[in-house]
Amino acid sequence: AVPSATVCQTASNKPSCKPAVFIPVDRAPEIQEARLKLPILAEEQSIMEAINENPVVVICGETGSGKTTQVPQFLYEAGYTSSTGAIGITEPRRVAAVSMSQRVAKEMNLSRRVVSYQIRYEGNVTDETQIKFMTDGVLLKEIQKDFLLSKYKVVIIDEAHERSMYTDILIGLLSRIVPLREKKGLPLKLIIMSATLRVEDFTENKRLFSAVPPVIQVDARQFPVTIHFNKKTPLDDYSGECFRKVCKIHRMLPSGGILVFLTGQAEVHSLCRRLRKAFPFQKNNTAGDDDKEESVEEIRKFKKSRKRKKAMTLPKIDLDNYSVIPVDEGDEDRDAETDDDVAGSDLDLDLGDADSEEDSSLPLYVLPLYSLLAPEKQAKVFRPPPPGTRLCVVATNVAETSLTIPGIKYVVDCGKVKKRFYDKITGVSSFRVTWTSQASANQRAGRAGRTEPGHCYRLYSSAVFMDFEQFSAPEITKRPVEDLILQMKALNIEKVKCKIDFVLRHSLKCLSIGTRNKHKFEQQTAKLSCPISPLGRVMATFPVAPRYAKMLALSRQHDCLPYTITIVSAMTVRELFEEYDRPAVSEEETAKLKGKKARLLQMQRIWAGQGLLQKLGDLMVMLGAVGACEYAGCTPKFCEENGLRYKAMLEIRRLRGQLTTAVNSVCSDAGLYIDPKMKPPTEAQATYLRQIVLAGLGDHVARRVQAEELLDDKWKNAYKTALLDEPVFIHPSSILFKQLPEFVVYQEIVETTKLYMKGVSAVEPEWIPVLLPSYCHFGKPLENPPPSYCPETGRIRCHRPSVFYRVSWQLPAVEV
């Protein structure tokens, strides 16, 4: 039940929307005591005054100052909840949403029915919920249903410094929603919370908020932290280096908790195991080992359930030929569908590696911490370690700002972070480990000085640190812009450009397609004010750039998905084949290179297939090469002998795994699997694939210049494209180099001595008006416009139109 409200005096008598109430909260004495020590408590009054007087407020405060746990409580006490509106708090990470809702419920002595959370697939929200923690993705989905967010009286955007894409879009949208709510007489308060003072993007962007929002700075006591750099930077084995460093600290330095930063869940588990082996617990003190047993058991269960699922959906598949490619999801993958990486084999890898290092020191109480860890296990890091032990938390960067662990005196920082990368051409995103930024390295160091002076051990040299980027760039600047537009349209934001200036302002840079390109931004945005099509809606759910999303969406027929996934992966990786045209140092080497090149050409002809398969051109060669390589087990030897780049092949395998998982999570009925030994497509499938690629790469169509159109010699064997005025040619390395089909679709244009198209497939002219009607204008008006994609059946209808259209095409826009 909601406690009865008592009216209290308010300082200002300006007419404002401020609730003049005080809702008492019954906190336990020890909680109240701990709260009072938090720096943010000193600012309660100024924070609440600012919120009462302003629609938008920015709060900056060092991690651990109490923003996430206390601000919702201030608002609750001040009466910012009622039966008609709640307080919503968004977090970029699931782990924070769950754990903070738990903590706040406990501090306020309120039921989880009142203080609840919602993450993508789970939550405990009820009719009584008044404080709701959620991931930013969840709030975006709610905006889709109710643009005014009428359920909320206050929305708090937490961890805004992370600049996650969803957070940025949310702030852009909320900057429009706040005035709309004001107009309706139902004001909404927006609070932006950040762990750094770098908030100019939110405050100084005049297009964002009409009045500059006040910034409240919370001063946190921070004790000095001594930074120790490594003299040398280890190349690969930073995990091993972490192990050695923790051992050293534990053996030689006075008491105090250790916090280790690694990049992913598998690494965290593996280091935990090594440390537990080196500094074991006594029999009656097995908190750590419990964990291990459980996680091994979990993996077993997980693997079993996976097998069962496979067997059900795909009865004909030979289970022994099947290998799951573990999906590598970082903690940054906050709200995406995740295939828990316990499915990987890391846990089985280095059994017994620390045997010789067993030690007689104090036991080390080792705890893992990462996004997908079960909440009960996450909660352990907040409790004091068992007496006579030292706490050691091995974490991913969730411990950087999302969660504050008490009692840390030593920080060990590997300097790396797992980040999402977007391929510029395909927009395919994947995770890679890279150096972190200076700002986040400093955040990590700061974790050591919360209760007393501390030490931070950086496992890299100061020279390397100086090379780090200062801040990580906002995610939105890295995503392909068509993708953003599509995502926003899927949120029913039709006039993307005028509504989300803020968002686009950052990404305009990404649009530099080159001066040569006539295809200007205006032309692209001209299309922005139309509503999203049903196909567009499907496309928006795929985690790749729209043109590839379109290909995937259309491939759900005729079993084309595995091929399209492979094509998109191979396009992302691009340089599949070894380059043998390099100058050689000796005659012997020249001969060797020549031999290798001949062998590669011979193989490419084989991979290009027979009959109609050949028309798929370079894409068929890609499919054939990947299939053959996987058939041979994807060994370095096979690659070396056949002119394939081994690293490229491994990367394709990884991307195929990621895309398959993504597609499965989008189309739960797809039941896709990765069969490494993929059979070549049938002739019919190859023909469908050509149409699918054409539909996706509509602006990459080229037509051979006909004899009667030859302007001059430089147009001999040349093609005209929609995007360029100059002649372009099929690249000599293309399997279609000699065939010169009338119409082709290409993956990219590269410029060497001339402009060359790479990744070329032949297309039939009559497909173009059918699949890309908006890209064409026709010689005479059509009586029956040709049918194209049918959203109800998800099929491409492609019968031959009775008239042969002379196709020329307008400058295409990216279709969304």
Per CB under 6 A, residues contacting ligand ADP are: 38, 61, 63-70, 99, 103, 379, 382, 404, 406
Q: Smaller CB distance to ligand ADP: residue 67 or 455? A: 67
Closest approach, Cβ 404 to ligand ADP, in A, equals: 4
Q: Which does 22 bind (CB under 5 to 8 A by kind): Mg ion, ligand ADP, none?
A: none
Q: Which amino acid, one-letter code, is at 660?
A: T
Q: Smaller CB distance to ligand ADP: residue 38 or 114? A: 38
Closest approach, Cβ 76 to ligand ADP, in A, equals: 14
Question: What is the C-alpha end-to-end distance of the chain, expressed in Å?
Answer: 48
Closest approach, Cβ 68 to ligand ADP, in A, equals: 3
Closest approach, Cβ 65 to ligand ADP, in A, equals: 4
d(CA 413, CA 774): 53
Three-state SS string over 405-466 comes to: CCCEEEEEECCEEEEEEECCCCCCEEEEEEECCHHHHHHHHHHHHCCCCEEEEECCCHHHHH
Tokens, residue 93: 């990470």
Which residue's entry shows tokens 């198209």? 757
Q: Which does 129 bind (CB under 5 to 8 A by kind): ligand ADP, Mg ion, none?
A: none
Q: Smaller CB distance to Mg ion: residue 62 or 578? A: 62
Number of Cα atoms under 13 Å in the Cβ half of residue 504: 19
Q: How many residues does the structure list for the chain?
A: 816
Closest approach, Cβ 192 to ligand ADP, in A, equals: 13
Q: Binding mask 192-221 vs Mg ion (x if CB under 5 A, - otherwise)?
A: ------------------------------
CB 738 within 8 A of CB 726: no
Closest approach, Cβ 31 to Mg ion, in A, equals: 17
Count residues binding Mg ion (CB under 5 A). Answer: 1
d(CA 397, CA 416): 9
Q: Which does 65 bind (CB under 5 to 8 A by kind): ligand ADP, Mg ion, none?
A: ligand ADP
Closest approach, Cβ 787 to Mg ion, in A, equals: 53
Give φ, ψ of 577 to 5 degrees. -105, 150
Per DSSP, which regions of 146-303 are E strands?
152-157, 189-194, 215-218, 225-229, 257-261
Q: Smaller CB distance to ligand ADP: residue 99 or 239? A: 99
Q: Smaller CB distance to ligand ADP: residue 67 or 499? A: 67
Q: Which does 404 bind (CB under 5 to 8 A by kind): Mg ion, ligand ADP, none?
A: ligand ADP
Q: Smaller CB distance to Mg ion: residue 68 or 685? A: 68
Closest approach, Cβ 202 to ligand ADP, in A, equals: 17
Q: Which does 382 bind (CB under 5 to 8 A by kind): Mg ion, ligand ADP, none?
A: ligand ADP
CB 184 within 8 A of CB 148: yes
Q: Smaller CB distance to ligand ADP: residue 82 or 222? A: 222
Q: Smaller CB distance to ligand ADP: residue 96 or 745? A: 96
Q: Smaller CB distance to ligand ADP: residue 67 or 519? A: 67
Name the maximum alpha-carbon separation found in the chain.
94
Closest CA to 399 of 434, 370, 373: 370
Q: Which does 390 bind (CB under 5 to 8 A by kind): Mg ion, ligand ADP, none?
A: none
Element (H, E) at 510: none
Q: Does 265 bind Mg ion (CB under 5 A)?
A: no
Measured CA to CA in angstroms, residue 383 lies from 112, 405, 580 at distances of 20, 9, 61
Q: Smaller CB distance to ligand ADP: residue 257 or 474? A: 257
Q: What is the residue-wise DSSP string for 20-52?
A: -EE------HHHHHHHHTSGGGGGHHHHHHHHH
Q: Which does 81 bind (CB under 5 to 8 A by kind): ligand ADP, Mg ion, none?
A: none
Closest approach, Cβ 62 to ligand ADP, in A, equals: 7
Closest CA to 331 of 451, 162, 490: 162
Q: Which does 239 bind (CB under 5 to 8 A by kind): ligand ADP, Mg ion, none?
A: none
Q: Which does 132 bind (CB under 5 to 8 A by kind): Mg ion, ligand ADP, none?
A: none
Q: Which does 69 bind (CB under 5 to 8 A by kind): Mg ion, ligand ADP, none?
A: ligand ADP
Long-range contacts of 377-385 (CB under 8 A, 24+ apart): 377/291, 378/95, 378/98, 378/99, 378/403, 379/99, 379/102, 380/287, 381/405, 382/103, 382/406, 385/257
| Paired strand residues for 411 | 259, 456
Closest approach, Cβ 247 to ligand ADP, in A, equals: 26
Edge-to-edge strand order for the sheet containing 701-704? 719-721, 701-704, 743-745, 761-763
CB 649 within 8 A of CB 622: no
Tokens, residue 268: 């965290």
Q: Smaller CB distance to Mg ion: residue 68 or 81? A: 68
Q: Smaller CB distance to ligand ADP: residue 63 or 295? A: 63
Closest approach, Cβ 201 to ligand ADP, in A, equals: 20
Q: Binding mask 34-73 vs Mg ion (x if CB under 5 A, - otherwise)?
A: ----------------------------------x-----
Closest CA to 347 of 301, 295, 392, 302: 295
Q: Smaller CB distance to ligand ADP: residue 70 or 233? A: 70
Residues of span 67-86 touching Mg ion by CB under 5 A: 68
Closest approach, Cβ 132 to ligand ADP, in A, equals: 16
Closest CA to 347 of 265, 275, 276: 265
Closest approach, Cβ 366 to ligand ADP, in A, equals: 19
Q: Which does 157 bind (CB under 5 to 8 A by kind): Mg ion, ligand ADP, none?
A: none
d(CA 269, CA 271): 6
Residue facing Mg ion at closest CB distance: 68
CB 503 within 8 A of CB 172: yes
- For Mg ion, the binding residues (CB under 5 A) are 68
